[in-house]
Amino acid sequence: MSNVFVIETAPSRRFDRPLIFVTLLLVGVGLTMLFSVSYSRADALFQNPFYFVQRQALLMLVGIVGALVLSRIDLRIIERVIPYAVVFNMLLLLLTFIPQLGATYLGARRWIVLFGFSFQPSELVKLTLVLYLSCMLGRKQDRFDDPVNTLLPPLMMTGLVAGLVYLQNDFSTTVFIVVIAGLIFYAAGVKLRYFVSLFIMAVPLLTILILSREHRVNRIISFIEPALDPRGSGYQVLMSQTALQTGGLWGRGIGMGRYKFGLLPEAHSDFLFAIVGEELGYLGVLAVLAMFLYLGYRGFLIARSANYGVVRLAAFGLSGVLMYQALLNMAVVAGMLPATGITLPFFSSGGTSAMVSLWICGALLNLSRYTEHDAGGERG
């Protein structure tokens, strides 16, 4: 697998500074909101109001260290090791099925638990699979007329990884991974007729998978008409929308929200954005949305400015992961999509998500050194 990166010049020593700034801003605001949302629950459960934010901060520190390492690794090395990284990631996914290691929460067997810490391998997939697909497709963009040799291997790898995640009963992450992979295939220039064929096959399969689990059907019903079961499956949807709207323009103020005190389940994780609306108001909601959009914008600038196909695809895919995941979470909280279990990067309690999100930013910083010119003219 040599010559994946046809590097014509040495990488620049300069990183995308606006990307660093918006990442650190998201980390700071995210930790602040997590403490505001979780201190009461943490004090009640662990007699330590800082419990959730301490664990998040510790894993974010690991994420920052990993981001610094990833930002400096030569892309040729990444190209050589990424196939092994994906295989290792698949082994981690398999470990979740071992009773002594795997942990189940809300019906999904997503976590490996060791020494009191939990790790979610499906979050790591968002980094490793994107880099793998970028390498595989980026070096073969002139050979897509031979789909068996060029498209089938990455397509099979995507299917294997997505299948393992689905077996964890994590349907939402499975769909998210497949959609991100599809976007990378599309950005690589794969012909539309292949997507049409896959779509025709995917629709009945997706329908069967949704109808095969009662809780998935209930989520869709509660999304369409939450008032049908306001104290059951529709409760979370109604409470999240109410909390989001309660803050008005300016919000109640940080720490002054009410819905986190038992009214809104999972307020510290999947539905934290609702408390952002309650405590920071519509202006706070728009500010957080703007941060994620700007993060995605910086990533897309890196992709647009890249000289090399692999770098372009990787920057597009990695920035897309963070931006689309944030938009998906916000849409769920606002009642625009059914509940998914997808977290809000940098904000929701979930150390693996925060850590991997920072690793993704580190990889983006690395990619920013391989652009044709300063992305947006703001590097240093």
Residue pLDDT, tens place only, 32-83:
999 999 999 999 999 999 999 999 999 999 999 999 999 999 999 999 999 9
Cα gap 89→42, rounded to integer Å: 31
Q: What pTM was estimated for this model as a whole? A: 0.92
Rounded percentage of the chain residues whose pLDDT exceeds 70: 92
For the chain, the maximum distance between any two Cα atoms, rounded to a whole number of angstroms, is 62
Cβ within 8 Å of residue 234, ≥6 positions away:
222, 225, 226, 227, 228
342-379 burial, b for 16+ CB within 10 Å, e for fewer? bbbbbbbbbbbbbbbbbbbbbbbbbbbbbbeebbbeeb
Name every residue whose Cβ is closer than 8 Å to that of residue 153 and which is 6 or more positions away in sequence. 136
Q: Which pair of tokens denotes residue 259?
A: 């819905």
Higher-confidence position of 148 and 86? 86
In the 8-state DSSP scheme, what is residue 102? E
The total of other beta-carbon atoms located within 10 Å of residue 248's CB is 12
* 122 has pLDDT over 80: yes
pLDDT surpasses 80 at 28: yes
* Per-residue pLDDT tens over the stretch 319-377: 999 999 999 999 999 999 998 889 999 999 988 999 999 999 999 999 999 887 544 44
Compute the distance between CA of residue 313 and CA of residue 98 in angstroms, rounded to an integer.
35
Contact of 344 with 329, CB cutoff 8 Å: yes
Cα–Cα distance measured from residue 110 to residue 85, given in angstroms and rounded to the nearest whole number: 19
Torsion over CA: 335, 337, 340, 345 (sign): negative
On the question of pLDDT at 274 being above 80, the answer is yes
Q: So where are the chain's domains? A: 19-377
> Residues 210-268: pLDDT tens digits?
888 877 888 888 888 887 777 777 788 899 999 999 999 999 999 999 999 989 988 99
Residue 239: helix, strand or coil by DSSP?
A: helix
